[in-house]
Amino acid sequence: MPSIVRAVLSAVTASCVVIGAAGCVQTPAPLPSGTASSSAPPRPFTVLTEQRANTTDPAGGRNDSDAMVTLDLFQRLMLVQPSTQLLKPDLAKECLFTAAQVYECTLPKDVVFTSGRGLTSADVKFSILRAIRLAPQKMSMLAALRSIETPDDTTVRFRLKYPDNQFGFGLAVPAASIVDHVAYDSDKLRPVEQAPIGTGPYQLDSWDSKGLTIARYARYRGPLGTDMPRIRIAWSDSPTAEEALTDAKAEIVWRTLSPAAIDRLQNRIVQDQDDGRPAGYFRWGLPRVVLQRLVWLSRSPYRANASLRNAVALALQEDRTASSILPSMIEGHTDTFALGGEPKMPKLEPGIALALRFTDSSPAMEDLANHVRDTLQQKLGITVQLVTESERADLELRDSAPMVNTAVGWLQDYLKNPLPGSAGKLSNLEERIRSSSREDVQQPALVEIQKQAAADATVVPIAETDGVLFLRQRVDLVGEAFGPGWQLALWGARWRN
């Protein structure tokens, strides 16, 4: 495995120990071979999240909740556990390089879609090409793809433009999920009103204005089987989620709680432990898996203004705690953005008015958006207006998961939208990293990309923070409990014995 994608499990485990006093218990245990012996309570297993899912089409996902739904309803050829960066088959029986620029996957013969039709290599080819056409940015990890061949129903042969050590990881991202080519339109996203057709461990049971319900798919064939017959995923604000967790009306609360609610819950856990009482819930350890960043959107007329981009980066320097667009827990991280101090602010031309939006993943993002707006206005003398996530904007605050938890995966925010003057250089550097397994080749290229990111300032890091995931004490997460970029995947949910 290339040096820049080595496991980061040791860092995660060490951080979990630090958090342990506040209720962090473990990272996912190995997937059990049998089924859980305890029975589910009368109401469905319930997951609460503030971030609403918008689609069941893998090519249409816009946020981490969309990714969660996709991960549960569909399969991908490959699977990645983010804590170890271990790449292994999911839908495929095996995938391997048969030549330097040929990646070949063999499919099982007994996989059946929820439509009742058997899956073949034609579905895989259709799904990958469809996703590249409908969602090219989400499929940028497959940039080396030249063509796809299907010599028989169980063989998929990918021919590449150059040797690519990241290609298998690209086949594990949510957008690369396999759909039924007979049922899906090759040029349009599937509406929510039409039932999704996949081969994942779950199938959609219902979707309404308050959330969705998924049910175990009896004909699922793969490594991620679940014992949970039904799971309800409901949209919730922070006060409702906090109350539901303390009153045992929800099993999992994900990316919903305000900073104050998180502090209250963790304090109650500590108090219960001090009083010798079993806490009713605990926080799952996800240390520093979230990178908050400010991204210039490609349609902004101000994006080409280098002085303004650099001024924005300088204005955020005093509060910045993340020093690169590559998180410090990933091998290859290099400090390229200055931290702290009181940098001198440049003088900008008058009349600049920017629109800033933010991903609605948690209440903390709204607080951060207000802080960033106030900082830019006070230090730069410009106007910044907060707009909704669906409105056009110049800047966007993001804390969404990367496509996959590797160095190249984290860099896609920057690499897939380069400035015209940097595009050629960045393309060559990325190909150099992907096509070599030598650290003395990869490392300098990786450092140069991070330096260029600081010079371009189209993606500005703000802070590395912990993921927010609370579970009831009766609940556990086992096996490959998260998607490739730390997205919650419900196939790992179990009742504790």
Is 339 part of any domain?
yes
CA–CA gap between residue 272 and residue 21 (Å, rounded): 11
pTM of the full structure: 0.89
CA quadruple 459, 462, 465, 469: dihedral, nearest 10 = -60
Domain that holds residue 65: 3-199+467-495
Same domain, 30 and 167: yes
Residue 94 is predicted with a pLDDT of 97
Same domain, 177 and 57: yes
Same domain, 352 and 479: no
Q: Spell out the residues 6+ positions from residue 320 whose beta carbon is closer than 8 angstroms to its own.
A: 337, 338, 339, 340, 461, 462, 463
Same domain, 339 and 392: yes
Extract the residue ranges of the chain whose pLDDT is less than 70.
1-41, 360-361
Q: Spell out the residues 6+ positions from residue 94 whose beta carbon is closer than 8 angstroms to its own.
A: 105, 106
Say how many C-beta atoms besides its own lie within 10 A of residue 455's C-beta.
15
Same domain, 456 and 474: no
CATH number at residue 195: 3.90.76.10
Is 247 part of any domain?
no
Same domain, 23 and 108: yes
Is 232 part of any domain?
no
CA–CA gap between residue 283 and residue 305 (Å, rounded): 43
CATH number at residue 461: 3.10.105.10
DSSP 110-153: --B-TTSPBP-HHHHHHHHHHHHHH-GGGGGGGTTEEEEEEEET
Same domain, 147 and 35: yes
The SS3 call for residue 207 is strand
Same domain, 475 and 450: no
Whether residue 181 contacts residue 126, with contact meaning beta carbons closer than 8 Å, is answered with: yes
Same domain, 72 and 105: yes
Same domain, 158 and 124: yes
Which residues pair with residue 207 across a beta bridge?
212
Residue 363 is predicted with a pLDDT of 75
Is 331 part of any domain?
yes
Same domain, 457 and 487: no
CA–CA gap between residue 125 and residue 144 (Å, rounded): 15
Cα angle 195, 188, 403; round to 5? 85
Which residues pair with residue 137 across a beta bridge?
none
Pairing of strands 252-254, 45-49: parallel
Is 419 part of any domain?
yes
Residue 15 is predicted with a pLDDT of 34
Q: Please give the helix or strand (H or E) that residue 81 lies within, else none.
A: strand 78-81
- DSSP letter at 84 equals T
CA–CA gap between residue 252 and residue 256 (Å, rounded): 10
Q: How many helices (H) and strands (E) does the chain have?
A: 12, 20
Whether residue 454 contacts residue 445, with contact meaning beta carbons closer than 8 Å, is answered with: no
Is 267 part of any domain?
no
Domain count, the chain: 2
Same domain, 299 and 191: no
Residue 390 is predicted with a pLDDT of 85
